[in-house]
Structure 1
Amino acid sequence: MRAAAALFVHRTFMLLRPPKAGPLVRSLSGGRLNTHPYTKRDTCMVGTAAAAEADFGRRSGERMINKNMAAALLLLGALGSSVQARSLTAIKQDGTLHIGTSGDMPPFSYTVDGINTGLEVDLLSMVAADLGLKVDFTVVPVDGALTSFTTRNVDVVVGGLGITSTRENKVDFTQPYMCLGMSVVSRDPAIQTRFDLENKSIGVLSGSTIQGFVAKLPFPKKTVVLATTTDVIFAVATGKVDASLAYATMAPVMAKLYPKAGVHFGPVQWSVPVGAMVAQNDASLRLALNRGLNKVMNDGRYAQLSSKYLGSDARCKATTP
């Protein structure tokens, strides 16, 4: 595909080269469509109207060519970006696995006194250590996760990221290491399920799967898009929005952060598989991470992590021993 784009750019540049005998001019004189060789010296011979038409046609053609060339260059740029994500070989040569995280998704990935912690932070650190790698964390907003492999130079992104077909059209995921129930969150005890959100204001995280889900709800509602998970939690806890949706496992975190807010979680509406996001261009890292995840999930370490952060085993049923 990259070679085809390069060929397209080459051919486009060739079209822009000045022709030896000049382009053809189309004349509509006499209602007929005729062609004439056109050069600057021929202008008065062809006639003012034909010359004007020729100039217009030439400039229109160049604009069309320029648009095509720009599209091809953008294609090349996109292809070039996709191959910038590092392979496992390059990562091992560097010795460090660069992990992107929003840093505000407790209990999965968050910071305490500037130190990264959480189930996914510890899990990926264990997998990296088994691969002989150090870890380095970079803040990546959820709405920038899909492009972070080239814009922020990360190798993998975590933070409660649901695995969806829409996301998998642009990136890859490791095997799911959690299946988490999604619940409606509100201070109003009458708001229990997604069907209770009609005519309500709903806080959603920008770029999250929840934003897309709420947009498709078939009834009137007000969607309030917020930049961070912290903003969403605060908006619900302070009544700035009527409700939101969140993983049910976040209930203890909400109770700890805002003990007097009276925020409650409704029954689980559906389950979401969660995994680590990786670039599509090289399967070597994804396969290595999957092998590492299988090891951690079967030697007892995952059960300890899940119990520590969630109070239960969060593995998808199919992967629970």
Structure 2
Amino acid sequence: MKKNMALLSLVAALGLTACDKPENQTAGSTADAENKVYNVGVDNTYPPFEFTQEGQLVGIDVDLINAIAKDQGFNINIEQMDFSGIIPAMQAGMLDIGMGGMSITDKRKETVDFSDPYFAAGVSLVVADDNQNITSLSDLSDKKVVVKNGTVGASFADKNTEEYGYSIIQVSDSASMFQEVTNGTADALMEDYPVISYAIATGGLELKTVGERLTGDDYGISVLKDKNDELLNMINDGLANLKESGEYDKIMNTYLD
């Protein structure tokens, strides 16, 4: 009899414990998300999306992912690296989220899943501000074009080199790319228009954009393909909430006129 009473007491205690769990918390989902730290990869040489200011990492992507994480109740750790290493680091299990002004492309969709777009971008052709000879792709025959590894600009340049007859110089960061054109080593560069426009406006660069944008790309936040559906849903929900609340516009207006 004592054994039966003890068993009934244990069952009752377990029942009370189960009832005490918050109704909106499901095992393996919300609780796990709140406790897990998601690693986010960014390129810190990509203003206004990521850059270092007074020793602190700042920018549109930094503020945006922090705001999304806060809205959705999960934690993040931001890792800084070359842009070309972000997707490989995700494949190696070192990162959960990839950003860095990452354009949504069919090629990248083979490896990652993208969030809803959060910025309309596009690649611009850029030359030295005293260059009067290059105004479009058709003027690049026998010229040297510098691009940053792993970017949409690099992909566009590679696909069109035969048609327009230029050679390509590859570098690992934006600052080196700008310098190649400024010092005359390269005749032109290809870079996302918000990035180069911000750099010219704030960095005193002796560069200018010419012609129409070469592509019409959207930026998205990426997770490894078919591996992080729950995280991707939280990112999309957070992004939607930020747009509705006005926080998204506030972040954009901090860095863009």
Q: For the superposition of Structure 1 and Structure 2, which TM-score range results when normalised by the shorter chain?
A: 0.7 to 0.9
Q: Determine the C-alpha separation between the residues in 2 that align with 1:169 and 1:276.
A: 15
Contact in 1 for aligned 2:153/2:192 (Cα 8 Å) = no
1:276 is aligned, of 212, 221, 229, to: 221
Cα deviation per residue 1:12-61 (whole Å; 9 max; x = unaligned)? xxxxxxxxxxxxxxxxxxxxxxxxxxxxxxxxxxxxxxxxxxxxxxxxxx
Cα distance, 1:191–1:300 mapped onto 2, change above 3 Å: same
TM-score by length of structure 1 reads 0.65
Q: Cα offset for 1:150?
A: 4.5
Give the match for residue 199 of structure 1: 142
1:305 aligns with 2:251: yes
Task: Specify the code of the residue in structure 2 equivalent to 1:299.
Answer: S
TM-score by length of structure 2 reads 0.80
Secondary structure of 2:111's aligned partner: coil
Give the match for residue 93 of structure 1: 35
Cα distance, 1:226–1:90 mapped onto 2, change above 3 Å: farther
Cα distance, 1:146–1:192 mapped onto 2, change above 3 Å: same
Give the match for residue 126 of structure 1: 67
Q: Which has the larger radius of gyration?
A: 1
Cα deviation per residue 1:151-172 (whole Å; 9 max; x = unaligned)? 3622111111110000001111
Contact in 1 for aligned 2:122/2:218 (Cα 8 Å) = no
Give the match for residue 228 of structure 1: 173
Cα distance, 1:189–1:249 mapped onto 2, change above 3 Å: farther
Structure with the bigger RCO (C-alpha within 8 Å, sep 6+) is: 2
Over the residues paired in the alignment, what is the CA RMSD in angstroms?
1.9
Secondary structure of 2:206's aligned partner: coil
Cα distance, 1:185–1:145 mapped onto 2, change above 3 Å: same
Give the match for residue 95 of structure 2: 154
Q: Determine the C-alpha separation between the residues in 1 that align with 2:81 and 2:169.
A: 21
Task: Specify the code of the residue in structure 2 equivalent to 1:182.
Answer: V
Give the match for residue 15 of structure 1: none
Cα distance, 1:254–1:90 mapped onto 2, change above 3 Å: farther
2:206 is aligned, of 249, 262, 273, to: 262
Q: Determine the C-alpha separation between the residues in 2 that align with 1:264 and 1:88.
A: 48
Task: Specify the code of the residue in structure 1 equivalent to 2:216.
Answer: S
> Which range moved further: 98-107 or 246-255?
246-255
Q: Cα offset for 1:198?
A: 2.2
Contact in 2 for aligned 1:109/1:118 (Cα 8 Å) = yes
Task: Specify the code of the residue in structure 2 equivalent to 1:268.
Answer: R
> Which range moved further: 231-240 or 208-217?
231-240
Give the match for residue 238 of structure 2: 292
Aligned pairs, number? 222
Cα distance, 1:252–1:148 mapped onto 2, change above 3 Å: same
Q: Determine the C-alpha separation between the residues in 2 that align with 1:100 and 1:88.
A: 23
* Identity percentage of aligned residues: 23
Cα deviation per residue 1:159-207 (whole Å; 9 max; x = unaligned)? 1111000000111111110011321011023322233222211111111
Secondary structure of 2:121's aligned partner: strand
1:215 aligns with 2:158: yes
Contact in 2 for aligned 1:105/1:159 (Cα 8 Å) = yes
Q: Cα offset for 1:310?
A: 1.7
Q: Cα offset for 1:104?
A: 0.7
